[in-house]
A and B are shown apart, each in its own frame.
Chain A
């Protein structure tokens, strides 16, 4: 009997130790508005929310309410201490995990659609707006327009090459542009369609990028943007707002857009199939794969809140933020 008890206690300790050592994750979601949002009206809470799904799936709010939060970034290496939100009011920054915030942009920067922190130089930030790209090199104290070479200024997204932080790509109304000098100038890539809404870069091969567009479907390049190929296999829709790689297995990809639900690819984006079981809102604006568990996927919908899958998209269940237009969702490994 004692032996059994000891064995059981020992097993519990092993499990507890395993759980304690397992990497946890934090999910962040930015809510632009809800079904009932009106400027100047008594609106439901919007802005940046987070949850730690291993501990508690309740969404917590951080930062200011009612700011039309489109995008955000969290510096993973700071364990969530350094954050920025891209909002209608500008870029909000926090350096203490969200306890205090400051809008670091002035009146010239507005309707900020994305904000990105250079993971290697945390004092370097970018934000994209309908008026182009802006950059700060001093942690947000000053911002400078970086639009040289851009053919159209409406810029929904920007990404930093994780292997070369001087290499940037941005999605614009006039296609995809690349900068080799940290935004000082931009060159148009070979994509000949406009209305680019989102970009995704392969986690280990910088030459592989995917672009989601308004009305033109998904395009992929295997050579850093020289040539783009339209992805047709299995795709029945034309407007895509989000494309992501599973960071734990880049052959796995997910995409979503207007009435698309979630599309999944298991061959690195060459072919796709829909994976919508349980997803009751098919307008998907952002998808995130948990970097600590590739089976756990989040889909952020437009006016339908967040959905979660624990089996790589095979099935989905509602995960909160009812009625919200969730613009961006990310999962960070801390």
Chain B
């Protein structure tokens, strides 16, 4: 009898192992097909770009043409760190087959063109990852052979030291430029290049672990190709058309979600041969059960107007198979392009998001993070981020905004000082909602496929249909406002009251049944609010029956118990766990476990 049981257990284990292997085999087959798609697109392109050359080199096909393309692309170097990574990436793909003349041109470029290191975390990741790889490729050269006057050894050591310190701070108190759908690519490319091409075994291992770290961070807040929740940085219009973000290109390549793309951002990763561990893509695509995922990140370096260099950022995301609702706790956590909260869903591409914000801008906000003169910083920033001082903008951090989220319910409060830019709040409602009903109870009730969104404004508001084409407007220095295409027909909720707020409820058909039932349930729940300067508060009982009390800015109570955000871990959810200061990330999926230990630089399963 015992032997029968043993055989049965063995067979079950064998079957599950075989199934897992089969799943992995299927995944890898499809992944490689996507890689081939990318190669084909760039192999057949005749433009003289780095990626066209890199693909030809990788395929060992039309190598002389690749040489010409590479040399042409290097003719007028520009782009700083955005030049560095494609140059070294292309070189690494072609070094064994390119001509000696081409090699000399590449080498000379690293001597004569001086890239700027930049002023953001993604800039530095690209800069130092590329510099490290370049210094390895051309070892033992004196400073006279490098643009910065440092020898190969000095450059390699400096880059290595920075990369390890970046890993240390990221895995200790969180990334500063965190969860950015539009800057995910810059990190992913940098770490994948290190993982695949670094000769130094420590840096190679670091690259591998950092790649897994940032992909795991994305995977757990991913739905259908979209990054979920609050973000440090995102551009318009990707904030309301999520699949435009570069992270979505990586989601397609590595998770098989979203839409097929030939984005240049994924060419070097596709050529590198890097394959994502199974546990990460399974976390990314398994949405069979809803879950709460919490994170702690850090504010980018505060250089003035603040007591703490890197205050914490608390992030809360609720993920289901139909939607994700996520939020940062609020305040100025990142200048210019912050996305404090949003709901994103699977229905209705490309407009798959509803969110709100206070469109704030100030010299002081910029002065917190940039060293230039406060009085002229706004004009300086608007030169490249044209929407920054636009009262209609769709990304913003605000010192007058705070959130409180519990599962799929969110409260957002504002206590805006008079005279602030701007004296209103905005809400974004996409044009392709199936329903956008203003119920007599005050709830705005929306339907997006099987996702239902309720929004209860605490103050009077107006609707504005967006017919304006911002691309035709010029900013303060005469440059077109950075918009990628004309947008019309979306709906803007605008409220001019300075003491303000709203409650957002999100449910899916699975969770609550029909849309009519959702609407009926909302009607029974009217938030109680106090909206006076210095005293903005709301009490609300959720559709799930939980009592939320929130007084601006930081007084949050759930069912009568104070919520202590300071206890938030770096990662805390069913799939990812990491304590503050631990330098250790544990990934869990069903019976699988994978631990990244940055102290010992090891991966264990």
Q: Which residues of A contact B (CB under 8 A)?
A: 32-33, 35-43, 64-68, 70, 88-90, 92, 100-103, 106-107, 110-111, 113, 129-131, 152-154, 173, 197, 214, 239, 241, 258, 283, 285, 302-303, 325
21 A-B interface contacts by CB (under 8 A): A39-B116, A39-B384, A40-B80, A64-B114, A65-B114, A66-B116, A67-B116, A70-B371, A88-B119, A92-B149, A100-B144, A101-B149, A107-B162, A107-B165, A110-B117, A111-B303, A131-B303, A154-B303, A154-B304, A302-B376, A325-B376
For the complex formed, measure the closest distance between the CB of B364 and the CB atoms of chain A, giving whole angstroms: 10
Chain B 128-171: CB-based contact to A (< 8 A → 1; otherwise 0): 10000000000000011001111000000011011001000000
The reply to whether A107 and B373 contact each other, CB–CB distance below 8 Å, is no
B residues within 8 A CB of A35?
Answer: 383, 477
For the complex formed, measure the closest distance between the CB of A214 and the CB atoms of chain B, giving whole angstroms: 6
Residue of A nearest to B114 (CB): A64
A residues within 8 A CB of B150?
Answer: 102-103
B residues within 8 A CB of A110?
Answer: 117, 119
The reply to whether A42 and B117 contact each other, CB–CB distance below 8 Å, is no
For the complex formed, measure the closest distance between the CB of A132 and the CB atoms of chain B, giving whole angstroms: 10
The reply to whether A88 and B117 contact each other, CB–CB distance below 8 Å, is yes
Is B372's beta carbon under 8 Å from chain A?
A: yes
The reply to whether B149 and A100 contact each other, CB–CB distance below 8 Å, is yes
Is B271's beta carbon under 8 Å from chain A?
A: no
Complex: A173 Cα to B375 Cα, angstroms: 15
Complex: A307 Cα to B150 Cα, angstroms: 36
Residue of B nearest to A46 (CB): B116
The reply to whether A106 and B116 contact each other, CB–CB distance below 8 Å, is no
A38-B383 contact, Cβ under 8 Å, with A32-B372, A258-B373: yes
Is B496's beta carbon under 8 Å from chain A?
A: no
Complex: A36 Cα to B79 Cα, angstroms: 14
A102-B148 contact, Cβ under 8 Å, with A107-B158, A107-B161: yes
A residues within 8 A CB of B384?
Answer: 38-39, 41
The reply to whether A239 and B79 contact each other, CB–CB distance below 8 Å, is no
Residue of B nearest to A107 (CB): B162
The A/B interface has a contact count, at CB < 8 Å, of 106
Interface size in chain B (residues, C-beta < 8 A): 40
A residues within 8 A CB of B593?
Answer: none
A residues within 8 A CB of B376?
Answer: 258, 283, 302-303, 325
Complex: A101 Cα to B82 Cα, angstroms: 23
Complex: A214 Cα to B80 Cα, angstroms: 32
Complex: A42 Cα to B301 Cα, angstroms: 27
For the complex formed, measure the closest distance between the CB of A265 and the CB atoms of chain B, giving whole angstroms: 23
Complex: A78 Cα to B6 Cα, angstroms: 87
The reply to whether B477 and A103 contact each other, CB–CB distance below 8 Å, is no
For the complex formed, measure the closest distance between the CB of B88 and the CB atoms of chain A, giving whole angstroms: 16
B residues within 8 A CB of A152?
Answer: 304
Complex: A130 Cα to B303 Cα, angstroms: 6
The reply to whether B158 and A106 contact each other, CB–CB distance below 8 Å, is yes
Complex: A286 Cα to B147 Cα, angstroms: 29
* Chain A CB within 10 Å, residue with most, of B78, B301, B371: B371
The reply to whether A111 and B373 contact each other, CB–CB distance below 8 Å, is no
A residues within 8 A CB of B79?
Answer: 40-42
A39-B116, A88-B117, A130-B301 given; 6 more Cβ-contact pairs under 8 Å: A39-B123, A40-B81, A64-B114, A88-B119, A107-B124, A152-B304
A88-B116 contact, Cβ under 8 Å, with A107-B161, A173-B304, A241-B373: yes
A107-B128 contact, Cβ under 8 Å, with A36-B383, A40-B81: yes
Complex: A70 Cα to B371 Cα, angstroms: 10
Residue of B nearest to A239 (CB): B375
Chain B 211-244: CB-based contact to A (< 8 A → 1; otherwise 0): 0000000000000000000000000000000000
Complex: A197 Cα to B144 Cα, angstroms: 36
Complex: A191 Cα to B80 Cα, angstroms: 41
A residues within 8 A CB of B477?
Answer: 35-36
Complex: A47 Cα to B91 Cα, angstroms: 29
Complex: A33 Cα to B381 Cα, angstroms: 12
Chain B 350-373: CB-based contact to A (< 8 A → 1; otherwise 0): 000000000000000000000111
A residues within 8 A CB of B372?
Answer: 32, 325
The reply to whether A66 and B80 contact each other, CB–CB distance below 8 Å, is yes
The reply to whether B117 and A214 contact each other, CB–CB distance below 8 Å, is no
Complex: A131 Cα to B302 Cα, angstroms: 10
Q: Which 10 A-B pairs have the closest CB atoms?
A: A102-B149, A130-B303, A64-B114, A107-B162, A38-B384, A258-B375, A154-B304, A42-B78, A103-B148, A40-B82
Residue of A nearest to B77 (CB): A42
Is B374's beta carbon under 8 Å from chain A?
A: yes
A285-B383 contact, Cβ under 8 Å, with A89-B148, A100-B144, A103-B148: no
The reply to whether A89 and B383 contact each other, CB–CB distance below 8 Å, is no
Chain B 20-64: CB-based contact to A (< 8 A → 1; otherwise 0): 000000000000000000000000000000000000000000000
B residues within 8 A CB of A154?
Answer: 303-304, 371
Residue of B nearest to A101 (CB): B149
A66-B383 contact, Cβ under 8 Å, with A39-B80, A111-B119: no
Is B118's beta carbon under 8 Å from chain A?
A: yes
Residue of A nearest to B369 (CB): A130
The reply to whether B149 and A103 contact each other, CB–CB distance below 8 Å, is yes
A89-B303 contact, Cβ under 8 Å, with A38-B383, A40-B80, A107-B158: no
A66-B158 contact, Cβ under 8 Å, with A38-B383, A38-B384, A102-B150: no
B residues within 8 A CB of A153?
Answer: 303
A residues within 8 A CB of B147?
Answer: 64
A89-B117 contact, Cβ under 8 Å, with A103-B149, A103-B150, A106-B161: yes
A residues within 8 A CB of B78?
Answer: 41-43
Complex: A88 Cα to B165 Cα, angstroms: 19
A residues within 8 A CB of B118?
Answer: 39-40, 88
Complex: A315 Cα to B150 Cα, angstroms: 45
B residues within 8 A CB of A102?
Answer: 143, 148-150
Residue of A nearest to B307 (CB): A152
Is B572's beta carbon under 8 Å from chain A?
A: no
For the complex formed, measure the closest distance between the CB of A31 and the CB atoms of chain B, giving whole angstroms: 13
B residues within 8 A CB of A131?
Answer: 303
